[in-house]
Structure 1
Amino acid sequence: MRIRTAIVAAGAALCLALTTLPATPAFAAGTVAPQIQINRDFPDPDIVADGNTWHAYSTSAGGIGTVPHASAPSPTGPWTVVGDALDHKPAWARDNHGFWAPDVSRRPDGSWLMYFTARHDANGRMCLGAATAATPNGPFIPTSENTPLVCNAGEGGDIDPSSFVDSDGKRYLLYKNDGNAVSQPSILWLQEVDATGIGFIGGRTELLRNSAPSDQGVIEAPTLVKRPEGYVLFFSAGVYSQGTYHTSYARSATLRGSYGRAFRPLITTETVDGAVNGPGGQDVIGNRIWFHGHLAAGGRGMYTAEVGWFGGNPVVRGSRVRYEAERGTLNDCVVRATSSASQGEVVAKIDNPTSWVQNTVHVPTTGDYTLHIFYAAGFGDAEHALSINGGAPVTVSYPNRGWENWTEVAVDVRLNAGANTIRLTHQSRWAEIDHLEVA
């Protein structure tokens, strides 16, 4: 059975408790960016595991039939595109239009179910269909030739299906109504289904809609994960054809409850320092996330990165997470309000030998990371002593760039999986700290 697992980028939005870890070598050679797995057009990847074989499915691309299918011996590859997973287009689907964002999951009887999106030949809207197969290799055969599974033309049609099985064994279908096509709200819906995955139980529930400025009017590609702390709804937003497309998330204590968005998106072009352009169309299984990004040669390739979970929140390796310095533990220094800083506050008066600010950061796995410190110094170059998990300190230098001019310095560090303490102690002259970012 497909098992999804992931979390919410918490550093900017949550004040995290400190955890004491043993001192370890703390300074190393840099961060690890998301890694490309399929370096050709393979957008909206969906991943499943069957024994020791991993399978990926994508939106129609690269001239490979309707639903491109790839396989690999491990989640990090090597991936081989092996062909078309869908047996044929159902009669209701338009012949000259591709299939979008497939989703494959295992049913209780051991068979495999594929949800897909295709354009309805009669009404011209994108609609959801279903197909089944004995193995994840396919070929998947449509369950209906003449009728889509979901097709609400009045709300713009429906796209981006995704399966979810809760801890009680109940199955659900998630999808988006394509309001963007008809100037209506785009909403992520949850619909309970029976064991077959194609019989509906009760009505649908709205989970989230395109209401945030960062959405740029678009919200889509829902992926739902159950964590001990509650439910995490991953989604993509922004303009898919541009670098503004990104992956974000929202959390709820209950399945049908109110989902609160993370303060900042989880993966953007900027948070991965340009290593992936327009990261979105995500899928999450265990400690790994897959997503697509634009390729220089055209199309969207498949990438992957490690995910860690902390207090119900996800952290993706290689994607910056922000920690506000003023939300840490302070000693002999103060919080100062200023409109020029992130979230309007900074740590100031770190002026004495006993002055320090300490934050706890979280990473998914032990390894090399880059710590980005955002500071201001306006009365000569300044220095802090940086200590990781109580280890031997090193000097961080802050060139004089002027007060209120928040400037970034980067330090390569080695961090332990889980919580790590970052302490900055006064060493020479004067600097204020706005926030830290860890990638």
Structure 2
Amino acid sequence: MCAVRLRPALTGLLVTALSAALALVAVPALAERVPRPVLSGDFADPAVTVSGNGFVGFSTGSLVPRSFSERPSGAWRPAGSSLVRLPSWSHADGDIWASDIARVGRWWVLYFAAPVRGIGEYGRCIGVARSRSATGGFTAIGGRPLVCPSYVAAPAAEDTVPVVLPGLPRAGVIDPSLVVAGGRPHLLYKTDRIPSSIRLLPLSRSGLHAAGQSVELFRHDGVLENPVLIERPTGWVMLLSQGDFTHCSYRTVWRRSTSILSWAEATTGVLLDQSSGLCGPGGADVTPMPHSKRLRVYFHAWTCRGSTTPCGPGIRKDTVRHRSRAIRPMYAADLDWVDGVPVVRGFL
């Protein structure tokens, strides 16, 4: 968030006094408008589910860090790592990115993007794990990835992604997200780097295995990631993160289509950006509110210097993020609809 600058006084003490008075009024008013995180620690790419008498959140990090709260607004407390161990096919060091959690039948199923060798430092492939409890230990399923390009140094995945995708880089796959369409589970995911492509994979009824080959829904010349699908009476709405995640201009956008498989004529718009007062609001996940048909969106944004103050635009530089102690805490907002378009009704 940029600081407000008052122009220098031009007509002596009267203007100076007026400027000071305006500053005293404007700064608190601006601060009141800036949403505050519901979880103030580092909790990027949140996925939140309702379990028992509380809420369980999952974030990017080693073995998928987890937090629990009895209320969505907090207080949230650490609940240990989600994964018991890395899957056997993940041999490289690094965090697990942007997981998704879902209840499928009598199991809790966790989809995650784990590091692999053969596609660079940031290469990831998608795996699946399950547990009897959202707060229990999740065990990876099988000895191979669920989704992974064939040229990666890992056992052949169930969905290998086409070997030749004209115009797309040799990179990994990230940002898994479960959606139920036509009564069957499907997995959304993104092929990494630029240009971006969003793909949809049919899954078995257990949600643990591929039940066909993935299809490309659309691609984008820049970065579109973290896809989440919401079924609406007139079709589908997809939330995505757009841009460079290290910039305050990173934002949450939406696309709307009448068909889950046809996005060429989709209408588009912005759900959350810098105008909210936040720096880089993205990584959004959508969770139904308990005992309600309403939805809540959880997302991250950058804060600096150990406070809830949003960072400034300089955090796009690694050295500035480190010096400013920049982290991405979790925020929450109620989602509403106006003429079929998603809007934020209010922040928690």
TM-score calculated relative to the size of structure 2: 0.73
1:282 lines up with 2:287 in the alignment: no
> What amino acid is the match of 2:60?
T
Equivalent in the alignment of 1:112:
108
Relative to structure 1, is the Cα distance of residues 106 and 113 closer, same or farther in structure 2, using a 3 angstrom cutoff?
A: same
Q: Is the 8 A contact 1:59 1:67 kept in 2?
A: yes
Relative to structure 1, is the Cα distance of residues 199 and 231 closer, same or farther in structure 2, using a 3 angstrom cutoff?
A: same
Relative to structure 1, is the Cα distance of residues 107 and 259 closer, same or farther in structure 2, using a 3 angstrom cutoff?
A: farther
- Alignment length, in residue pairs? 273
Q: Determine the C-alpha separation between the residues in 2 that align with 1:161 and 1:188.
A: 10
Q: Is the 8 A contact 2:257 2:266 kept in 1?
A: no
Equivalent in the alignment of 1:249:
254
Equivalent in the alignment of 1:90:
87
Alignment map for 1:182-193 (pairs within 5 Å): 185-193=195-203
Once the two structures are superposed, residues 35-86 of structure 1 have per-residue CA deviations (whole angstroms, 9 ceiling, x without a partner) of 31111111000011123211110000xxxx4210011112222211221111
Shift of 1:173: 0.2
> What amino acid is the match of 1:315?
V
Shift of 1:294: 0.7
Higher RCO (CA 8 Å, separation ≥ 6 residues): 1
Aligned-residue identity in percent: 34
Q: Determine the C-alpha separation between the residues in 2 that align with 1:249 and 1:261.
A: 10
Equivalent in the alignment of 2:142:
144
User: Secondary structure of the residue that 1:296 maps to in structure 2?
Assistant: coil
Shift of 1:251: 0.7
Choose which of 98, 101, 115 in structure 1 pairs with 2:98.
Answer: 101
Once the two structures are superposed, residues 104-133 of structure 1 have per-residue CA deviations (whole angstroms, 9 ceiling, x without a partner) of 11112x111111111113554311111111
Q: Determine the C-alpha separation between the residues in 2 that align with 1:136 and 1:278.
A: 29
Equivalent in the alignment of 2:302:
294
Q: Determine the C-alpha separation between the residues in 2 that align with 1:34 and 1:314.
A: 18
Relative to structure 1, is the Cα distance of residues 284 and 131 closer, same or farther in structure 2, using a 3 angstrom cutoff?
A: same
- Any unmatched runs of 5+ in structure 2? 1-28, 152-162, 164-169, 289-294, 306-325
Q: Determine the C-alpha separation between the residues in 2 that align with 1:55 and 1:305.
A: 16
Q: Which is strand-richer, 1 or 2?
A: 1
User: Secondary structure of the residue that 2:271 maps to in structure 1?
Assistant: coil
Q: Which has the larger radius of gyration?
A: 1
Q: Determine the C-alpha separation between the residues in 2 that align with 1:307 and 1:129.
A: 29
Q: Is the 8 A contact 1:32 1:318 kept in 2?
A: no
Shift of 1:263: 4.7
Q: Which is helix-richer, 1 or 2?
A: 2
> What amino acid is the match of 2:253?
S
RMSD: 2.2
Equivalent in the alignment of 1:59:
60
Equivalent in the alignment of 1:307:
335
Q: Determine the C-alpha separation between the residues in 1 that align with 2:98 and 2:142.
A: 19
1:208 lines up with 2:181 in the alignment: no
Q: Determine the C-alpha separation between the residues in 2 that align with 1:86 and 1:305.
A: 28
Relative to structure 1, is the Cα distance of residues 126 and 208 closer, same or farther in structure 2, using a 3 angstrom cutoff?
A: same
Equivalent in the alignment of 1:40:
41
> What amino acid is the match of 1:45?
P
Q: Determine the C-alpha separation between the residues in 2 that align with 1:318 and 1:50.
A: 24
Q: Determine the C-alpha separation between the residues in 2 that align with 1:41 and 1:295.
A: 9
TM-score calculated relative to the size of structure 1: 0.59
Equivalent in the alignment of 1:156:
171
Shift of 1:225: 0.5
1:176 lines up with 2:190 in the alignment: yes
1:78 lines up with 2:75 in the alignment: yes
Equivalent in the alignment of 1:198:
208
Shift of 1:198: 2.6
Choose which of 129, 132, 135 in structure 2 pairs with 1:131.
Answer: 129
Q: Determine the C-alpha separation between the residues in 2 that align with 1:133 and 1:202.
A: 24
- Any unmatched runs of 5+ in structure 1? 1-28, 212-216, 320-364, 366-439
